[in-house]
Chains A and B, each alone.
Chain A
Amino acid sequence: MKLTLKIWRQENATVKGSMQTYSLDGVSPDMSFLEMMDVLNEQLMENGIDPVAFDHDCREGICGSCSMFINGEAHGPDRLITTCQLHMRKFKDGDTIHIEPFRAKPFPVIKDLVVDRTAFDRIQHAGGFVSVNTSGNTQDANALPIEKESADKAFDAAACIGCGACVASCKNASAMLFVSAKVSQYALLPQGQVEATDRVLNMVKQMDEEGFGNCTNTGACEVECPKGISLENIARMNREYLTANLKG
């Protein structure tokens, strides 16, 4: 396959970036998208050009590192996968592929396609945890019976890998799906009840401080989420938030 790649190039966080065009020949349909990027980078380095910086780690859809906006969609045209799970067979010989970083004010570009997603870490630090006494008296988690439906929903919410595709896809750059998944995974379990009020208030406060947009329920986040996190979580977080505010 021969491809034309239009890629966002930006030297660092302080300079302006722009789209640059590269031609790449000999791409196998069996390659993953990131392998195609590796081939491009080898070609660029052979020609004395700075390789394209992009995030990647596990390359099996678990870590949530890869974060490319491909042809107008987070993680590309396929559903329920991350960029590293996208294969070149999804494209045709002669295609032009636009590759941009995830765009959001709270996700500033560090270099090329690498964005700073530590805003998500700060939201997690604000309340995405349960405080457990680990001084030798830790209770066996299975000692507390939990109904299957709640356990399943908590697990589904916990499947969020924090990649940021929800923010990237949302026309408002809202982080509600991410935050609601992190709130839900504890709200559904008895272990999460003790800190429930503070958790939702602090996490939403941090989300707003980071400068993410507001949720207008377009549903784009749910469609583009590689882990299929449901909008039901946003409704749950809204209930939790309302209840927490009423409790004071």
Chain B
Amino acid sequence: MALSGLFLIIFLLQHFIINITSVFDGSVFNWLSHFMGTNPLVQFILQPILIAGVIFHFVMGFILDLQNKKARGIRYKVFKGNSNASWVSRNMIISGSTVLSFLVLHFYDFWIPEIDYKYIKVLPDDPHRYYEELILKFDNLTRVVIYVVSFFFLALHLSHGFASAFQTMGFNNKYTVIVKSIGKLYSIGIPFGFAFIAVFHHINHHYL
């Protein structure tokens, strides 16, 4: 879980860096998206690794959760979980399941149309279509709201997951304070940034 989690954390950062360019310059976003969408290394090596990483992370998450519930046996009548651990740390399965549900929508929105365009309909290569497709997606307010709520749950998931991954990998020393601080910054900054991109394009397209 920790290794796949750290891998996904790195992926999220890269995904964010590409997406945030859409706020500043559509042509840069188009160039980067075209590169990622057509580069054979990205398409046929990195993308399958990423999908495998995502599947491994959530399948293992569900398996571990089942094992953990089984390990308790009879449940307590009174259990004060809040007195010794945060809600977020105790409910990673809830935040994780929400993010997983969001991923289904996200794949439906972007990944499946992309695969359809390139490999099923085999339409002609158009390096300038990505920015326009992005704007059209965030035209729908309901979609933007779902994205923002999902990013909130992503923030919760990361706020525990980031430092937890380091602890599981055996990293707990005088630098742990720094890791926890970076984790907090990351868990707020990246989901907020993604939410900002969705809201920005919605407002920009509709009201400005």
Q: Point out residues on A near B: beta carbons under 8 Å.
A: 6, 8, 19, 69, 71-73, 77, 98, 100, 103-106, 108, 169, 171-174, 211-220, 223-224, 231-232, 234-236, 238-239, 242
**B64 at the A interface (CB under 8 A):** yes
Chain B: which residue is nearest A243 at the CB level?
A: B170
- A217 B89 Cβ-Cβ under 8 A: yes
- B85 A100 Cβ-Cβ under 8 A: no
CB distance from B57 to the nearest CB of A (A): 14
- B71 A100 Cβ-Cβ under 8 A: no
- B71 A212 Cβ-Cβ under 8 A: yes
- B170 A242 Cβ-Cβ under 8 A: yes
Chain A residues closer than 8 Å to B164, beta-carbon distance: 216-217
Chain B residues closer than 8 Å to A108, beta-carbon distance: 73
| Set A103, A220, A224: member contacting B74, Cβ < 8 A | A103
Chain A: which residue is nearest B93 at the CB level?
A: A216
State in angstroms the CA–CA spacing of A161 and B75 once bound together: 25
CB distance from A82 to the nearest CB of B (A): 16
Chain A residues closer than 8 Å to B92, beta-carbon distance: 216
**B90 at the A interface (CB under 8 A):** yes
Q: Mark B54-85, 1 if CB is under 8 A from A, else 0.
A: 00000000001001101111111111110111
Q: Point out residues on B near A: beta carbons under 8 Å.
A: 64, 67-68, 70-81, 83-86, 89-90, 92, 160, 163-164, 167-173
Task: Report the 9 A-B pairs with minimum CB-CB distance, sorted nearest first.
Answer: A72-B80, A235-B172, A213-B71, A239-B170, A172-B68, A223-B84, A218-B85, A105-B73, A213-B68
Query: A98 and B78 in contact (CB under 8 A), knowing A73-B84, A217-B164, A231-B167?
Result: yes
- B80 A171 Cβ-Cβ under 8 A: no
Chain A residues closer than 8 Å to B71, beta-carbon distance: 104-106, 172-174, 211-213
State in angstroms the CA–CA spacing of A236 and B172 once bound together: 8
Chain A residues closer than 8 Å to B77, beta-carbon distance: 6, 8, 19, 98, 100
CB distance from B153 to the nearest CB of A (A): 17
- A216 B68 Cβ-Cβ under 8 A: yes
- A218 B89 Cβ-Cβ under 8 A: yes
- A219 B72 Cβ-Cβ under 8 A: no
Chain A residues closer than 8 Å to B86, beta-carbon distance: 218
Chain A residues closer than 8 Å to B76, beta-carbon distance: 69, 72, 100, 103
Chain A: which residue is nearest B81 at the CB level?
A: A171
State in angstroms the CA–CA spacing of A104 and B74 once bound together: 7
- B90 A218 Cβ-Cβ under 8 A: yes
Q: Sample 5 A-B pairs with CB under 8 A, ordered by A number.
A: A72-B76, A73-B80, A100-B77, A173-B73, A213-B71
Query: A105 and B72 in contact (CB under 8 A), knowing A19-B77, A100-B77?
Result: yes
Query: A238 and B89 in contact (CB under 8 A), knowing A172-B71, A213-B68, A214-B67?
Result: no
Chain A residues closer than 8 Å to B171, beta-carbon distance: 235
- A173 B83 Cβ-Cβ under 8 A: no
Chain B residues closer than 8 Å to A211, beta-carbon distance: 70-71
- A214 B68 Cβ-Cβ under 8 A: yes
Chain A residues closer than 8 Å to B75, beta-carbon distance: 103
State in angstroms the CA–CA spacing of A231 and B170 once bound together: 10
Chain A residues closer than 8 Å to B81, beta-carbon distance: 72, 171, 220
| Set A212, A223, A235: member contacting B85, Cβ < 8 A | A223
State in angstroms the CA–CA spacing of A173 and B75 once bound together: 11
Chain A residues closer than 8 Å to B168, beta-carbon distance: 215, 217, 235, 238
- A235 B78 Cβ-Cβ under 8 A: no
CB distance from A203 to the nearest CB of B (A): 16
Chain A residues closer than 8 Å to B70, beta-carbon distance: 105, 211, 213
Chain B: which residue is nearest A232 at the CB level?
A: B172
State in angstroms the CA–CA spacing of A98 and B78 once bound together: 7
State in angstroms the CA–CA spacing of A223 and B167 once bound together: 16
CB distance from B63 to the nearest CB of A (A): 9
Chain B: which residue is nearest A169 at the CB level?
A: B84
State in angstroms the CA–CA spacing of A219 and B75 once bound together: 20
- A172 B80 Cβ-Cβ under 8 A: no
Chain A residues closer than 8 Å to B172, beta-carbon distance: 231-232, 234-236
Chain A residues closer than 8 Å to B73, beta-carbon distance: 103-105, 108, 173
